[in-house]
């Protein structure tokens, strides 16, 4: 059931992309360019600058709000990446013990700051990517990347990866369901059973890939995926959207907004 629920939530992101809002009607290239600018400006900050990352959270919040996407859905999906992020930065506090600042009696080391920075950057990046899929649709994102100059080889691989991950998850769900019918849903698979299930899934995947490839060749596949839907153009609305996002992201990248706001708040209470 957990596999099926994960699959349903992935499909829900694509379903949300079919809404009719001003943000959904924008050309996908504008939203992709704004997202790339967001990622570049956010990731270019220093590893110890944790507070300066906070204003960047306004960008995914804006995409979710204007696109009618539940923020709770994005946070639940982004939380799946937390174990991988923790494995990346969990040892930073052990290796970098240089004290960078003091919060009262607590000495904050560089490892603590860099670990917090990795955690916050990852959550912002994953949440923004999910919001982009929810307000644009993955096929439209790939079409926009192709128009922006992405090589067709990488583009086709990206499209196949997203399109057939649903087939893979459905196959894994059927295997787990068959195992539960034979062994009981209350018993968890052992490590040996997981190894057998993964091996069987790999063999089924290779067999399915061969059949899919033959079917595509029979239908005249030439190395590029066909485009569906009505073509869009990059107009004034898209230009205004890119300029507004670009100016805000440039401002939060150049200026330390938390420090400025903190100084202004401190001046008011003096």
For the record, the structure tokens of 231 come out as 């073509």
Domain boundary among 127, 150, 173: 150
7 has a pLDDT exceeding 70: no
Quickly count: other Cβ atoms within 10 Å of residue 14's Cβ: 15
CA distances for 229 relative to 89, 195, 224, 232, angstroms:
42, 42, 16, 9
| Whether 63 contacts 74, CB under 8 Å | no
| Whether 60 contacts 124, CB under 8 Å | yes
Residues 93 and 170 placed together within one structural domain of the fold: no
Query: Quick check: is 123 in a domain?
Result: yes
Determine the pLDDT at residue 265.
Answer: 64
Determine the pLDDT at residue 186.
Answer: 60
Residues 155 and 41 placed together within one structural domain of the fold: no
Determine the pLDDT at residue 14.
Answer: 79
CA distances for 31 relative to 36, 155, 254, angstroms:
9, 18, 22
Distance between CA atoms of 157 and 154, rounded to whole angstroms?
5
Residues 94 and 160 placed together within one structural domain of the fold: no
| Whether 149 contacts 232, CB under 8 Å | no
Query: Quick check: is 234 in a domain?
Result: no
| Lowest mean pLDDT across 29-43, 54-68, 118-132, 252-266 | 252-266
What does pTM read for this prediction?
A: 0.81
Mean pLDDT of 235-264: 86
Determine the pLDDT at residue 241.
Answer: 93
Domain of residue 42, residue span: 1-150
Residues 191 and 210 placed together within one structural domain of the fold: yes
Mean pLDDT of 35-56: 90
Name the packing angle between helices 58-66 and 71-78 (round to 10°). Answer: 130
162 has a pLDDT exceeding 70: yes
Split into its structural domains, the chain has a count of 2
Residues 95 and 125 placed together within one structural domain of the fold: yes
Determine the pLDDT at residue 258.
Answer: 76
Mean of the per-residue pLDDT values for the chain?
Answer: 83
Residues 141 and 179 placed together within one structural domain of the fold: no
| Whether 16 contacts 224, CB under 8 Å | no
Query: Quick check: is 248 in a domain?
Result: no
Helices (H) and strands (E) in the chain, counts: 13, 2
Number of residues in the chain: 270
């Amino acid at each position: 059931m957990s596999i099926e629920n994960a699959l349903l939530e992935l499909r829900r992101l694509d379903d949300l992309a079919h809404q009719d809002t001003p943000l959904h009607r924008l050309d996908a290239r504008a939203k992709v360019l704004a997202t790339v600018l967001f990622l570049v400006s956010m990731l270019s900050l220093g590893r110890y600058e944790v507070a300066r990352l906070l204003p960047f959270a306004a960008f995914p919040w804006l995409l979710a709000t204007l696109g009618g996407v539940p923020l709770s859905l994005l946070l639940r999906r982004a939380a799946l990446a937390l174990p991988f992020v923790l494995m990346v930065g969990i040892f930073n506090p052990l290796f970098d013990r240089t004290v960078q600042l003091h919060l009262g009696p607590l000495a904050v080391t560089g490892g603590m700051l860099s670990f917090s920075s990795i955690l916050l950057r990852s959550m912002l990046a994953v949440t923004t990517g999910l919001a982009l899929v929810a307000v644009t649709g993955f096929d439209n994102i790939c079409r926009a990347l192709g128009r922006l100059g992405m090589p067709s080889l990488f583009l086709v691989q990206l499209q196949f990866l997203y399109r057939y991950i649903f087939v893979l998850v459905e196959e894994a769900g059927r295997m787990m369901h068959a195992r539960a019918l034979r062994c009981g849903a209350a018993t968890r698979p052992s490590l040996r059973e997981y190894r057998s299930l993964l091996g069987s899934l790999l063999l089924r995947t290779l067999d399915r890939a061969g059949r899919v490839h033959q079917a595509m060749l029979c239908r005249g596949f030439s190395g590029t995926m066909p485009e569906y839907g009505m073509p869009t153009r990059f107009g004034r609305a898209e230009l205004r959207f890119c300029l507004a996002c670009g100016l805000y992201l440039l401002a939060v990248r150049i200026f330390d907004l938390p420090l400025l706001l903190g100084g202004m708040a401190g001046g008011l209470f003096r």
